[in-house]
Amino acid sequence: MLTLYSELPARRTRQVVADVVVAVWTVVWIRVGLALHDAVMALAAPGREIADAGSGLENNLRSAGERVSSVPLIGDDVRTPFDRAGDAGAALRGAGEAQVAAVEALASFLGVTVALLPIVALLLLWLPRRIRFARQATAAAALLRSGADLDLFALRALARRPLTELTHIHPDPAGAWRAGDPDVVRSLAALELAAVGMRAPGPDLSTSDGATAVYAESMAEKTTTNDSTDEPKGGRPGPADQGGAGGMATRENAPDVAESEASNDAD
């Protein structure tokens, strides 16, 4: 599912306002372009009048020529001037139509250019950021839905976020992350998620739009002993190194080491 808006209220508000501004900006400049188109098209009125006048003159002269052509003996000679005058009317009509076509082309060019330039200029600033945010937020949301470990986001925060933000979380954020400090891991993850407009799962860890780090609510401390035997994790250590050829003894080879040393004492 595509994520278009941030889960953080402040950033979501800015995104909505920016989208509205872009929409209003686009509508305003489209209307400006249409108004300019109509204003320039008003210059085509004289051309239309010239075309209409030329067309009317042509039709009247040709009609008159046809009538006088029926006069016996002189009809054809009298018609010739009317036909030539009709041709002049046709040329006048063509000039008017050419002027109208030129004004229409100019009106379309100016209207589209005036509307398109500011719209494209704003889109070049706004659209890449919105697309980048949507892609990053959608990917982060998909990872969170899949149950991805917060260590992934914490590691990205260590690699990508400014040092001033990281030091707000912990004096040694990398060392705390390597040590598995749950508060630091969650705070780093929340910092990275806030940068892409998402919240970390669990407690509310909202940030001031990624400008400063957040501190996670306390989590249960990791137990260092086994529940049933009260042994440290990983079991009890093996015997100390006795200087034998086998090196440091472990829980697996401790009996063999002991037998070997007893045999050497017997010899």
pLDDT digits (tens, 9 = 90+) for 104-163: 999 999 999 999 999 999 999 999 999 999 998 888 888 888 777 788 888 888 888 888
Question: What confidence tier does 212 reach under pLDDT thresholds 50, 70, 90?
Answer: very low
Rounded mean pLDDT, 214-225: 32
- Using the predicted structure, report yes or no on whether residue 235 has a pLDDT greater than 50: no
Return the pLDDT at 189. 87
Q: Among 175-179, 180-184, 195-199, 256-260, name the one with the lowest average pLDDT.
A: 256-260
Return the pLDDT at 77. 63
Q: Quick check: 8 and 207 in contact, CB under 8 A?
A: yes
Q: Which residues, 6+ apart, have CB-to-CB distance to 79 below 8 Å?
A: 65, 66, 68, 69
Angle at the Cα of 21 from the Cα atoms of 27 and 137, rounded to 5 degrees: 120
Q: Among 41-45, 69-73, 132-136, name the one with the lowest average pLDDT.
A: 69-73
pTM for this prediction: 0.59
Distance (Å, whole) CA 78 – CA 90: 20
Q: Quick check: 198 and 144 in contact, CB under 8 A?
A: yes
Distance (Å, whole) CA 33 – CA 118: 11
Query: What average pLDDT does the structure give for the chain?
Result: 74
Return the pLDDT at 75. 56
Distances in Å between the Cα of 56 and the Cα atoms of 12, 52, 89, 117 are 65, 6, 8, 43
Distance (Å, whole) CA 18 – CA 6: 13
Angle at the Cα of 197 from the Cα atoms of 206 and 148, rounded to 5 degrees: 85
Return the pLDDT at 91. 82
Q: Among 19-23, 82-86, 171-175, 193-197, name the one with the lowest average pLDDT.
A: 82-86
Return the pLDDT at 63. 75
Rounded mean pLDDT, 20-49: 93
Angle between helices 75-145 and 9-41 (to 10 degrees): 180
Share of the chain above pLDDT 90, in %: 23
